[in-house]
Amino acid sequence: MFKPSYPALAILAILASSRGVDAACTSGTIATLAAGASCTYDNFVAALSADCAASIADLFLNEATGLPLDEAARRAEVEALCEYDAPTQFVEIQGSYQDDRRYFAGGSDLVDGSSSWNVLSGKIKRFEANLGTKTVIAFPEYAARIDYNSQNNLGANGYPANMNLEKSCSLNTIMCCFTDASISSFAANADATTDVCRHDLRDSPQSNHIANGWSVFPGAETPTHCVGFTWNDGEEELLGNMMYEVSLRQTATKGYRQGVPGAPMCGCVEHMPVVESAKCRTAVKDPAGIVYSFQYNEDSGYVSASNTVAITYQDCANADLAAQYKANHADDVETAALIDEHLVGAGNCDADLEEYLNDEQFLLEGQHPRRYAQIDHSVWSDLVVGEGIRFLPPNPDPIVADTAFRALIEAGCKNADGTPRYCMVRRFCDSCPHDSHIDIYYKRKTTLPPMGTNTTNGEVYFLDLFMNQWTSYKNILNTDFELYSNYQDALNGVNKWMACNYDSSGVGFPRDCGPRDTSVGEWNSYTNHNWFERANHHGFYVEKPSA
Ligand X SMILES: *[C@@H]1O[C@H](CO)[C@@H](O)[C@H](O)[C@H]1NC(C)=O
- Kindly report the backbone phi and psi dihedral angles of residue 302, in degrees, each rounded to the nearest multiple of 5, phi listed first: -85, 145
- Residue whose CB is less far from ligand X, 378 or 457: 457
Residue 383 φ/ψ, nearest 5 degrees: -55, 130
Least separation in angstroms between CB 378 and ligand X: 41
Which C-beta is closer to ligand X: that of 456 or that of 530? 456
Residue 303: its H or E element:
strand 303-308
Cβ 456 to ligand X, closest distance in Å? 5
Q: Where are the alpha helices (DSSP H) in 388-481?
A: 398-409, 462-467
In contact, 119 and 252? CB cutoff 8 Å? no
Stretch that binds ligand X, among 267-275, 336-344, 415-423, 454-462 (CB under 6 A): 454-462
Nearer to ligand X, 213 or 458 (CB): 458
Name the minimum Å distance from CB 410 to ligand X: 24
Cβ atoms of 247 and 104 closer than 8 Å = yes
Q: Which of 129, 98, 87, 121 is nearest to 243 (CA)?
A: 87
Please tell me the count of residues contacting ligand X according to CB under 6 A.
3
DSSP-derived 3-state class of residue 281: strand
Q: Which amino acid is at 74?
A: R
Stretch that binds ligand X, among 185-193, 275-283, 321-329, 449-457 (CB under 6 A): 449-457
Residues in region 338-377 near ligand X by CB under 6 A: none
Instruction: Give per-residue burial for 43-57: e unless 16+ CB within 10 Å, then b.
Output: bbbebbbeebbebbb
How distant, in Å, are the alpha carbons of 169, 264, 354 from that of 260? 20, 7, 20
Cβ proximity to ligand X: between 356 and 473 the closer is 473
Least separation, in Å, of the C-beta of 518 and ligand X? 33
Pick the closer one to ligand X by CB: 130 or 454: 454
- CA–CA gap between residue 195 and residue 226 (Å, rounded): 10
Q: Which stretch binds ligand X (CB under 6 A): 94-102, 111-119, 452-460, 474-482?
A: 452-460
Task: Provide the minimum distance between the beta carbon of 453 and ligand X in the complex, in angstroms, as a whole number.
Answer: 8
HSE-up (13 A, CA, CB side) for residue 333: 0
Q: Which residue is nearest to ligand X (CB)?
A: 457
Helix axis angle, 97-105 to 143-151, nearest 10°: 60
**Distance from the Cα of residue 184 to its chain's centroid:** 30
Contact 348, 341 (CB under 8 A): no
Q: 118, 153, 457, 505: which one contacts ligand X (CB under 6 A)? A: 457
Rounded least distance, CB 462 to ligand X, Å: 17
Residue 457 C-beta: closest distance to ligand X, Å: 3
Residue type, 390: R
Query: Measured from the CB atom, is 66 or 450 closer to ligand X?
Result: 450
Q: How far is the CB of 450 from ligand X (least distance, A)?
A: 11
Task: Give the residue with the Cβ less far from ligand X, 38 or 454.
Answer: 454
Angle formed by the axes of helices 71-80 and 6-15, nearest 10°: 120
Cβ nearer to ligand X, comparing 457 with 546: 457
SS3 166: coil
454 touches ligand X (CB under 6 A): yes
Min. distance of Cβ 469 from ligand X in angstroms? 17
Nearer to ligand X, 122 or 450 (CB): 450
Q: Per CB under 6 A, which region of 156-164, 244-252, 311-319, 453-461 contacts ligand X?
A: 453-461
| Cα 518 from Cα 511, distance rounded (Å) | 9
Per CB under 6 A, which of residues 166..205 are in contact with ligand X?
Answer: none
**Can you give the binding site for ligand X, defined by CB under 6 A?**
454, 456-457
